[in-house]
Chain A
């Protein structure tokens, strides 16, 4: 490092590092940020199969079906206008229930079924996942009053 302009060099290094961080973040966000979808969003504009997305909505009444292996569930996530079929293998979270809100991370497969890798249900009466907040789910069951904080 040239001793004469050491301070300037350091300042420049810091600026370069931060600009680099910004560019890296922009690149990674564009590539990796999983956008949040409601069933209506998927109905309107279907994300490509295999893209990581996050799906949120209400579990439809009477839609939960447990399959023969005992660890896979199929259910339908809905909002006011659309329905989306979901399959999940794993232990369902506490308070995962029909007529309740749910957020799922996963991907659509080629048949348009959403394969969930993780499920997040509202885990007590006062908490709802950020993404579910303010979504109209009146057509589910009358849970709106507990969903609006």
Chain B
């Protein structure tokens, strides 16, 4: 009965979504206030029903109800509870249901709490949101019903893939999904404002928390995904320009640009059409990201063509939404009044530069990711675009972007004097020059990009705190602190990236128990190889000790695991973290002479990459809290003033 109830709840939610759309569309056309009044409760009810449906699916997974096909395919009764729970969205149908659930909850949230927008714009926003959700409801109900029963009922499920039993994988996809959905909400706001011709500061203020929220989730998702790939794959790399990684990076780039332009719109009422366009692009990127990951097109264009239903459905949705959004933008951009003007040297000017650079980087990643797929689809030729392209094309632009980031916050809005900017930024520039000089003098073999990156990071780290200079720190608004911390986080991550690429030391040896391996200041003692057994795997474990200089002796145990059920082998790297870097040890195969391949990396300051990512997200969080609090205060004051009148 649980499955049937879930399906009914899903149908009801879909029907309510249709009603939500109809109320909005007809209400706006006929200017009927009672329609406007009805749309809020409908949106809330929709959110509740779709949540119920998702909760029931979770329950089915937790109970290991093997009469439900999705549970059979993706779970097993012996799985740890956490992975039964995470298994709910670790598959196609479940993740699509998660998507509409988050979407529905976001709609309910807007309906309940959004008070600053004009009623018509709010109604149009909710209608746009319903329209987007409808496509996904249709997708679920027509071609991917998560509650489908199975007969005969099998004894147990088949979802035993050990590679998927990892906390990183369990919570990584939902994090990205929250980001994607947040961008679709921002997009709904943009559509709503375009429909009612209400593009201005109020709209930007209503949209901003959603953009910020989406951006925080995407930042966390990308950071976590990068660390997962780093420790799980055993290759010692932290970013591979894999299409799946790019699918999350592209929405992040667009969201970053949108975040900055929406601030211009909210604060200065400039860049109106520009912000709308970025909202459209950010949403398109999140749809393309979903399409790339969900359609199976990445594994193979061929597989996509063989089982075209799902992929084609998402592709059709993609075309409908993006095409519709672009068309609406083209139709309405003429009616968007030009915003306030500004001089080239101004905060706005720097933010325009930020937007342009981010857009170009986005375009480069986009082309590099989709070009091979396009070529293969058209000509059948197989082609690979790899790190050399992405690093060469985006690296220099990213450094330029970071330089703009250092200067931008030090500029005044509307108009500023280049000379006073130079005064404000003199210290960071001197520091950067000194760092560049010192690095060029004392290091050898650094690539130009890494050299510039490290020197730039030194300057930016200082410059990011400059906005606090001569301010009363107690009265500085929270969102300024948020900006400072996020920008500082970028500098921190940049230091990590440059150090990792320049100062990593690596050793690959075939060693016997008893051998000593020396890398940088580390001395590793290879003691023994021992067989091990886990719940569903066997492993060979090498026992080693590692000592940094004369410091304490640590025991490390890199493993090679063999999963019997899935015929899968994974290597479990051993990581040892110090304040100044990470030791990374991988065990390879043994040979007939009793030697074992061992690969050791010493990666100075590599952890700063992810630490920086967390700082960036934290900065975003502070900014969001600060903005929401300030908006709340202002509304209270306004209400109070109105009451007094």
* Chain A CB within 8 A of B303 CB: yes
In the complex, A71 has a CB within 8 A of chain B: yes
Sort chain A's interface into a size bin: 35 or more
- Is A66 within 8 A of B591, CB to CB? yes
**Interface-lining segment among A7-15, A78-86, A137-145:** A7-15
B363 within 8 A of A: yes
B residues 295-317 with Cβ under 8 Å of A? 298-303, 306
Q: Which of A17, A70, A92, A95 contacts B510 (CB 8 A)?
A: A70
How distant is the Cα of A32 from the Cα of B388 in the complex, in angstroms?
6
Q: Is residue A90 contacting chain B, with contact meaning CB distance below 8 A?
A: yes
- In the complex the two chains form, is A35's CB within 8 Å of B383's CB? yes
Report yes or no: A94 in contact with B302, Cβ–Cβ below 8 A: no
A43 contacts the other chain (CB 8 A)? no
B273 partner, pick from A7, A21, A32, beta carbons under 8 A: A7
| B371 within 8 Å of A (CB atoms) | yes
Report how many residues on chain B are interfacial, defined by Cβ distance under 8 Å.
57
B364 within 8 A of A: yes
Count of chain A to chain B residue pairs whose CB atoms are closer than 8 Å in the complex: 141
Cross-chain contact B568 with A17 (CB below 8 angstroms): no
In the complex formed, the residue of A with least CB distance to B353 is A13
The stretch of B52-60, B61-69, B337-345, B492-500 in contact with A is B337-345
A129–B342 Cα distance when bound, in Å, is 51
Q: Please indicate the chain B residues that have their CB under 8 angstroms from the CB of A34 in the complex.
A: 384-386, 388
Chain A residues closer than 8 Å to B459, beta-carbon distance: none
Query: Which residues 142-183 in B have Cβ within 8 Å of A in the complex?
Result: 161, 163
Chain B nearest Cβ from A22, distance in angstroms: 7
Q: Which of A1, A3, A24, A94 contacts B393 (CB 8 A)?
A: A24
Pairwise interchain contact A92-B589, C-beta atoms closer than 8 A: yes
Q: Contact partner of A124 among B302, B341, B567, CB < 8 A?
A: B567
In angstroms, how far is the closest chain B Cβ from the Cβ of A37? 9
**Complex: chain B residue closest to A35, CB-CB:** B383
> In the complex, what residues of B have CB within 8 A of residue A7's CB?
273, 338
| Known A33-B389, A131-B382: A21·B508 in contact at CB below 8 Å | no
Give min CB distance, A136 to chain B, whole Å.
13
Closest to B345 in A: A1
Residues of B within 8 A of A6 (CB): 338, 341-342
| Chain B residues within 8 Å of A40, by CB | none
Residue of B nearest to A130 (CB): B300
B360 proximity list for chain A (CB < 8 A) = 17-18, 20-21, 24
Q: Looking at the complex, which one of B235, B302, B364 makes contact with A21 (CB distance below 8 Å)?
A: B364
Q: Does B288 contact A (CB under 8 A)?
A: no
From known contacts A6-B341, A94-B568, A130-B300, infer whether A52 and B509 are also in contact, taking CB-CB under 8 Å: no
Distance, CA A69 to CA B509, complexed state (A)? 8
**B135 contacts the other chain (Cβ, under 8 Å)?**
no
Cross-chain contact of B386 among A54, A123, A128 (Cβ < 8 A)? A54
Decide yes or no whether A133 CB sits under 8 A from chain B. Answer: yes
The answer to whether A91 touches B586 (Cβ under 8 A) is yes
A52 CA / B273 CA spacing, docked (Å): 43
Question: What is the distance, in angstroms, from B410's C-beta to the closest C-beta of chain A?
Answer: 19
Chain B residue at smallest Cβ distance from A125: B567
Task: Assess whether A91 is in contact with B589, with CB atoms less than 8 Å apart.
Answer: yes
C-alpha gap A127/B508 in the complex (Å): 28
Which residues of A in the span 55-81 have a Cβ within 8 Å of any Cβ on B?
Answer: 66, 69-71
A48 to chain B, nearest CB (A): 16
Listed residue (A28, A128, A131) with the most chain B CB atoms within 10 angstroms of its CB: A28
Assess whether B205 is interfacial by the CB under 8 Å rule.
Answer: no
Most buried by B among A31, A95, A133: A133
Contact of A133 among B303, B384, B591 (CB under 8 A): B303
- Whether B356 pairs with A17 at a CB distance below 8 angstroms is yes
Cα distance, A127 to B161, chains bound together (Å): 12
Chain A residues near B582: list those with CB within 8 A. Answer: none
B274 within 8 A of A: yes
Q: CB < 8 Å: which of A31, A89, A124, A133 contacts B566?
A: A124
Distance in Å: Cβ of A96 to nearest Cβ of chain B: 9
Which residues A92-132 have CB closer than 8 A to chain B? 92, 94-95, 105, 118, 123-125, 127-128, 130-131
The winner among A20, A22, A34 for most chain B CB atoms within 10 A is: A34
Asked if B367 lies at the interface with its beta carbon under 8 angstroms from chain A, I say yes
> Does B595 have its Cβ within 8 Å of any Cβ on chain A?
yes
User: Residues of B contacting A105 with CB < 8 Å?
Assistant: 386
CA distance A13 to B4 in the complex (A): 55
Chain B 378-407 interface mask (CB, 8 Å, partner A; 1/0): 000011111011001100000000000000
B248 at interface, CB cutoff 8 A: no
Q: How far is the CB of A107 from chain B (nearest CB, A)?
A: 12
Bound-state Cα–Cα, A92 to B301, Å: 27
C-alpha spacing A125/B570, complex, angstroms: 13
How far in angstroms is the closest Cβ of chain B from A95? 6
* B352 and A13 contacting across the interface, CB-CB below 8 Å: yes
A71 partner residues in chain B, CB cutoff 8 A: 508-510, 588, 597
Is the CB–CB distance between B588 and A91 below 8 Å? yes
Shortest CB-to-CB span from A115 to chain B, Å, is 15
Chain B: minimal CB distance from A20 (Å): 7
How long is the Cα–Cα vector from A92 to B163 in the complex, in angstroms? 19
Q: Given A70-B591, A95-B569, does the pair A29, B302 have CB atoms closer than 8 Å? A: no
Q: Which residues of A contact B571 (CB under 8 A)?
A: 91, 94
Give the complex CA separation of A29 and B383 in angstroms.
11
The answer to whether A29 and B568 touch (CB under 8 A), given A66-B591, A70-B591, A91-B586, is no
CA distance A124 to B562 in the complex (A): 11
Please state if A130 and B352 are interface contacts (CB–CB under 8 Å).
no
> Within the complex, what minimum Cβ distance (angstroms) separates B374 from chain A?
12
Could you tell me if B599 and A91 are in contact, using CB atoms closer than 8 angstroms? yes
Q: Which residues of B contact A13 (CB under 8 A)?
A: 352, 356
Choose one: A21, A22, A31, A94; the contact of B570 (CB below 8 Å).
A94
CB closest chain-A residue, reference B357: A17
Complex CA gap A7/B566 in Å reads 59
Please name all residues of chain A whose beta carbon is closer than 8 Å to the beta carbon of B408 when the two chains form the complex: none
- For A70, the closest partner residue in chain B by CB is B510
User: Is B504 located at the chain interface by the 8 A CB criterion?
Assistant: no
- A134:B383 contact, CB within 8 angstroms: no
A124→B510 contact, CB < 8 A: no
Contact across chains for A36 and B570 when beta carbons are under 8 A apart: no
- Contact (A94, B508) CB under 8 Å given A25-B393, A130-B298, A134-B300: no
Residues of B within 8 A of A91 (CB): 234, 508, 571, 586, 588-589, 597, 599
A45 close to B (CB within 8 Å): no
Task: List, sorted by A's number, 12 A–B pairs whose CB atoms are closer than 8 Å.
Answer: A10-B274, A18-B360, A18-B363, A25-B363, A29-B371, A34-B385, A36-B382, A54-B384, A90-B599, A91-B571, A95-B568, A124-B161
A residues engaging B (CB < 8 A)?
1, 3, 6-7, 10, 13-14, 17-18, 20-22, 24-25, 28-29, 31-36, 52, 54, 66, 69-71, 89-92, 94-95, 105, 118, 123-125, 127-128, 130-131, 133-134, 149
Q: Which 7 A-B pairs have the closest CB atoms?
A: A70-B510, A91-B588, A21-B363, A94-B569, A32-B389, A133-B300, A36-B382
